[in-house]
Amino acid sequence: MSWPTLESHRLWLAGETGRLLDFARGARVEGGFGWLDADGRPDPSRPLQLLIATRMTHVFALGHLFGTPGCGPLADHGVASIEETFQDRDHGGWFSEVGGTDKEAYAHAFVLLAASSAAIAGRPGASTLLERATGIVEQRFWSEEEGACVDTWDRGWQRLEAYRGANANMHTLEAFLAARDATGDAVWSDRALRIADRLIRDVAGAHDWRVVEHFDARWTPLPDYNRDDIRHPFRPFGVTPGHGLEWSRLLLHLQASLDEPPDWLVPAARRLFARAVADGWAAGGGFVYTTGFDGRPVVTDRLHWVLTEAIAAAAALHAVTADQEYDDRYREFWDFAGAHFRDAERGSWHHELDDRLEPSERTWAGKPDVYHALQATLVPRLPVTASLAGALASQMG
């Protein structure tokens, strides 16, 4: 019997969901959610960030749908903070952090995801936020001509960065699938497919299933982008195997959201997974952060989110294909997580390990949020549908 279908394992996953939600509760502060340190305390040296507010709102909406008491009010706190703390009331949209000015597609994707999940959970104020978020994304970030999203604007929507990024578009695709479940409008799945067509079928398919991350405004790849900033947490140099794993899973959710899905989605998901594991899984275990386009490691630190995405992708691929390989990998990945990443003493997961597999903070400090790890505990127990919130809501009846 595969682990995701084994009742005792599913009970363990439910316990891990609860453990992560308990850790996340400590992030609540006035005006939003704080960046958590290694002990689960908000770091007062960091300004409130939209990314943390939105991810935590999404997490607590999922917790409410999962049936965990106390998560609903925390999701409500998150919805209110997105509107009250981060909204630009003069020009529209949301600032990426308190005191900031830029409007980023990446952060706005998480506004849409949080609003969609909270709306599916039936939380007050979420529908209003969802309506506002869909309007901003459609008007400012979605490009019908390009079939993808642009990236970063200035405060007044006058200057657009001459850059296109796969990371922002990947999370926009995730948010579009959640919006599909929240609104019932198939246009969001259609747009998600257009993003996947461009970045995965066309570009990754032409690069041996390595995801190209950086492009100029004409969608010409920029292979040397951030060569002098190889540890960038959002736009690192080279190839990010973790994104290959994340795209692999998202293609399966995309397929489930479409009435007539194209036949390339599952084969592409399998190839992305195979390439990411071949390039990224290190001899001593764990996934390296980045590689070159030749598959050789660049940043060899192991980041927790990459492993969580590997776990989730393996579970989803096994559910869709029933291939034993994915259950074997799923077990291997969880074994490594249990031995090295789960912090049984201080809570949550270590966010980063060095080459000796010791906790490190060279890329990410502390344990900012539980978004990736929590989803890794849910995906194996849910049907592969458009969104996690939609899947949980359907199980509630």
Please confirm, yes or no, whether 77 is among the known catalytic residues. no
50 and 86 Cβ atoms separated by less than 8 Å: yes
**Residue 152: helix, strand or coil by DSSP?**
strand
| Bridge partners for 353 per DSSP | 302, 359
Q: Report the alpha-carbon distance of residue 197 to residue 203 in Å, rounded.
A: 8
Token output for 241: 């195997």
Instruction: Specify the DSSP element, H or E, that contains 148.
Output: strand 148-149
Q: Report the alpha-carbon distance of residue 369 to residue 384 in Å, rounded.
A: 24
Q: Report the alpha-carbon distance of residue 79 to residue 41 in Å, rounded.
A: 21
The CA dihedral of 360, 19, 339, 318, to the nearest 10 degrees, is: -110
Task: Show the beta-strand stretches assigned E in the chain.
Answer: 28-29, 32-33, 103-104, 142-143, 148-149, 152-153, 164-165, 214-215, 288-291, 297-303, 352-353
Tell me the CB-side half-sphere exposure of residue 328, using CA atoms within 13 A: 4
- Distances in Å between the Cα of 90 and the Cα atoms of 99, 133, 134, 156 are 14, 16, 18, 9
Token output for 67: 């049936």
Q: Report the alpha-carbon distance of residue 395 to residue 397 in Å, rounded.
A: 5
Listing DSSP states for 107-129 in one string gives: HHHHHHHHHHHHHHTT-TTHHHH
In the set 108, 171, 243, 318, the catalytic residue is: 243
103 and 153 Cβ atoms separated by less than 8 Å: yes
Burial (CB count <10 Å: 0-12, 13-18, 19+), residue 35: buried
Q: Are strands 28-29 and 152-153 parallel, antiparallel or unpaired?
A: unpaired
Please confirm, yes or no, whether 372 is among the known catalytic residues. yes
> Which bin fits 342, alpha (ψ -120 to 50), beta or left (φ > 0)?
beta
Token output for 128: 């209003």
Instruction: Specify the DSSP element, H or E, that contains 211.
Output: none
Which active-site residues does the annotation give?
243, 372
